[in-house]
Structure 1
Amino acid sequence: MTEEKFDTVMKIHNYTPYRMIHALSGHWMDPANRAMTKTVINISSTSGLHGAMGQINYATAKAGIIGLTKTVAAEWGRYGVRCNAVAYGWIDTRMTKPPDPDEKVVIGGQQIMSGIPLNAKKWRDTSDIAVGRPGTVEDAAGVMLFLSSPLSAYVTGTCIECTGGRYM
């Protein structure tokens, strides 16, 4: 893997969340906003928790999100800010569907095909997922809804795995 590819993934998955959180810091730390509900939900991945062959950049970035989450939770809790992360497993999206040769993403003038190849049998095998299927976007959204609701008012600095029971 080139350093350029490594850096690009780090910028997308680490620098962007950091910059978004940093942009809120002055507003959220203002004592006038103490009573306001303030919640940060970062997106990690099981790759950040367990590693992923061929994805050293992505796994490193997603592990970094967990460190960012825990640090913001520790430092900003006194300002009424809760910060958590969700480590998603296989969620059925266009990024995890088999590649479509007609659908490409262009980054820096380079065409990149999205999707996970059909021959990635180990990854596509659902036998180690307790619920026996990939997650849906509704499954993914449900965790976010919980973390953004008053039901999670005493939850901060944690990473919830949304995996259907894979990696138990």
Structure 2
Amino acid sequence: MDDDKFDIIMKIHNYVPFRIARALSGHWMDPVNKFMPKTIINVSSTSGLHGSMGQINYATAKAGVLGLTKTIAAEWGRYNVRANAVAYGWIDTRITRPPTESEAMSLGGQAIRLGIPENAKKWRDVSDIPLGRPGSADEAARVILFLASPLSSYVTGTCIECTGGRFM
């Protein structure tokens, strides 16, 4: 993998959440807002927890999200900021379906097909998912909703795995 392919994933998955947190920091650390509950929810992946063949850039970036999340939780807890992450496994979205010729994004003038190739059969195998299927986008969103709600008011510095039991 060349440096450009590695760097673009770092910029998307590490720089963006860092810059968002940094932009919030002055307001959130203001003593006037000390008792206002604040929550950062970062999105990671099981690739960041377990690695992923052929995705060294993505796995590295998603592991970095976990370090960023835990550091913010440790440093900003005194300002009533909670920081958590969700590591998703196989969630059925356009990105996790097989690529098509008609769906691509352009990056630096290069067309990049969306999706996971058909030949990634091991990844598509549900036999190691106790629930026997990929998750839905609604199921994925519910984990975020839980972390954003008062139901998780004493949860910080952790990563919830949303995997249907894969990697258990």
Give the TM-score range, shorter chain: over 0.9
Partner Cα separation in structure 1 for residue 167 and residue 140 of structure 2 = 17
Partner of 2:14: 14
Partner of 1:134: 134
Question: TM-score, structure 1 length as denominator?
Answer: 0.99
Partner of 1:147: 147
Partner of 1:124: 124
Residues paired across the two proteins, number: 168
Deviations 1:40-70 (A, max 9, x none): 0000000000000010000000000000000
Runs of 4 or more consecutive aligned structure 1 residues displaced over 4 Å after TM superposition: none
* Letter aligned with residue 106 of structure 1: S
Partner of 1:55: 55
Q: Which runs of 5+ in 1 are unaligned?
A: none
Partner Cα separation in structure 2 for residue 121 and residue 4 of structure 1 = 28
* Letter aligned with residue 67 of structure 1: G
Partner Cα separation in structure 2 for residue 63 and residue 99 of structure 1 = 26
* Letter aligned with residue 24 of structure 2: L
Partner Cα separation in structure 1 for residue 140 and residue 37 of structure 2 = 22
Partner Cα separation in structure 1 for residue 156 and residue 2 of structure 2 = 36
CA RMSD of aligned residues (A): 0.6
Deviations 1:127-154 (A, max 9, x none): 1001000000011001001000001000
Sequence identity percentage: 72
Q: Which runs of 5+ in 2 are unaligned?
A: none
Partner Cα separation in structure 2 for residue 49 and residue 97 of structure 1 = 22
Partner of 1:96: 96
Partner of 1:164: 164
Partner Cα separation in structure 2 for residue 110 and residue 37 of structure 1 = 43
Question: TM-score, structure 2 length as denominator?
Answer: 0.99
What displacement does 1:35 show? 2.3
Which is worse superposed, 31-40 or 136-145?
31-40
Partner Cα separation in structure 1 for residue 86 and residue 113 of structure 2 = 25
Partner Cα separation in structure 2 for residue 166 and residue 66 of structure 1 = 19
SS at match of 1:47: helix
Partner Cα separation in structure 2 for residue 119 and residue 64 of structure 1 = 28
Partner Cα separation in structure 2 for residue 86 and residue 74 of structure 1 = 17
Partner of 1:66: 66
Partner of 1:80: 80
Partner Cα separation in structure 2 for residue 126 and residue 166 of structure 1 = 9
SS at match of 1:95: helix
Partner of 2:114: 114
